[in-house]
Amino acid sequence: MAHCMSFRPVSLLPAVLLASLVGAATAAPTRVIEQSVDYPGSEGDMPAHIYRQEGDSRRPGVLILHTFAGPGPNVEAFARRLAAQGFVTMTPDLFSLHEFGPEGRADHPLVLGDLDGALAFLRRHPAVDPSRIGVVGFSFGGRLALIAAAGHSDLKAVVVHYAVASYQELARERPVAGRALQTRPAADFAPRVRAPVLIHHGLADRSIPASQGVLLHRALTAAGKQATLHLYPEADHLFNFEIAAEGPGTYREEAARLSWKRTLEFLKQNLSH
C-alpha cells in the first residue's frame, strides 16, 4: 500500500516569524556619515557639513539653514536626524567670512550669494539626486528658505520655521532697524515660488509674532501657491531647539514632536520622486 506523506507548511510560520523578529532586533542602527566640506560662497570658500547614510544610491538633498545666531548644535542635530531618514542634508555656514557692519544681515547680498553657492554644491554632490532638492530654515534661515524658493524654480519642497514675512509689518509690533527695514516683504516674491511651502510658527512667539506666519501664509495663498500653516499653542521662538545651551530655553516637547512629524511627512511626500 502506498503511503502518502503529508506536509504542514503552517508549522514553518513560527520559525519564519522568529527569524524575522530576531533579524529586526539585531539589525544595526542606521549609520549616518558626517563630512566637513567647503562650498563656494560670495567671498570665497565657506564651511559646511554634509550628513548622509552609507550606500551608493542617490538620495533627495535638503539644505538646512541656520538662525541669525549662525550655525549651532540644534541645526546640526536636526540635519543628522533627517539624514537617518534617508535624505542627504547640508548645513552651510552663511556668515563665516563676512563683516556685515551696522547694516545687519537681513537679505544681505553676500548671504544670498552664499545661499546660491550652497544649493549648487548640494546639487552636485555625488550622493544627491539633483532633481529632488528641498530647503528647511529656522527663523533667519526660514526667510532665506523662502527667498531660495523664489530664486530657484527647481526646488521641490520648502519648510519655514518661525520666520519674518515682512520686517515693515514687524516694526509695528517691535523695534526693527538697519537693513531689515529696506528688505522686501514676502508678498513681493511669493509669486515666483513654485515649491509647496510648509510653515511652523508658535502662537506664543515673543521674538517673531505668529502674525508673521499668518502673513506669510496669506501672501503665498493669495499668489495661488500651495502653502500650509501650523500654529502651535504656548510655543515660543525656537520651540524645537532641544539643546538649551544654544537657545533661550523655550523648548516645547509636544510642539517639537508634531512639527518634526509634519516636516518629515511633507519632505517624503514631495521629494520621493
pLDDT in tens, 168-217: 999 999 999 889 999 999 999 999 999 999 999 999 999 999 999 999 99
- The helix (run of H) or strand (run of E) holding residue 124 is helix 109-124
Q: Tell me what percent of the residues of the chain surpass a pLDDT of 70.
A: 87
Q: How far apart are CA 64 and CA 136, in angstroms?
A: 5
pLDDT reading at 1 higher than 80: no
By the 8 A CB rule, do 202 and 219 touch? no
What are the E-state strand segments in the chain? 32-41, 44-53, 59-65, 88-92, 128-138, 157-161, 197-202, 227-232
Band of pLDDT at residue 28, cut at 50, 70 and 90: low
Residue 23: what pLDDT?
45
Burial, 23: exposed, middle or buried (Cβ in 10 Å; 0-12, 13-18, 19+)?
A: exposed
Count CB neighbours of 185 within 10 A: 17
pLDDT in tens, 78-93: 999 999 999 999 999 9
Cell of 127: 550622493
Residue 103: what pLDDT?
63
Cell of 240: 524645537
Q: How far apart are CA 226 and CA 196, in angstroms?
A: 5
Q: Which residue has the cell 536636526?
A: 78
Q: How far apart are CA 183 and CA 186, in angstroms?
A: 9
Cell of 78: 536636526
Q: Which whole number is the average pLDDT over 233-237?
A: 96
Q: Which whole number is the average pLDDT over 238-247?
A: 85
pLDDT in tens, 188-201: 999 999 999 999 99
- Of residues 100 and 16, the one with the higher pLDDT is 100
pLDDT reading at 15 higher than 60: no
Band of pLDDT at residue 102, cut at 50, 70 and 90: low
**Mean pLDDT across the chain, nearest whole number?**
89
Output the CA angle 199-72-35, nearest 5 degrees. Answer: 100
By the 8 A CB rule, do 149 and 197 touch? yes
pLDDT in tens, 116-141: 999 999 999 999 999 999 999 999 99
Which residues lie closer than 8 Å to 55 by C-beta, 6 or more apart?
none
CB half-sphere exposure, 269, CA atoms < 13 A: 12
CB half-sphere exposure, 236, CA atoms < 13 A: 10
**Structure letter (DSSP) for residue 2:** -
pLDDT reading at 18 higher than 80: no
What domains does the chain contain, in order, with CATH numbers?
Answer: 41-53+60-271 (3.40.50.1820)
Residue 13: what pLDDT?
34
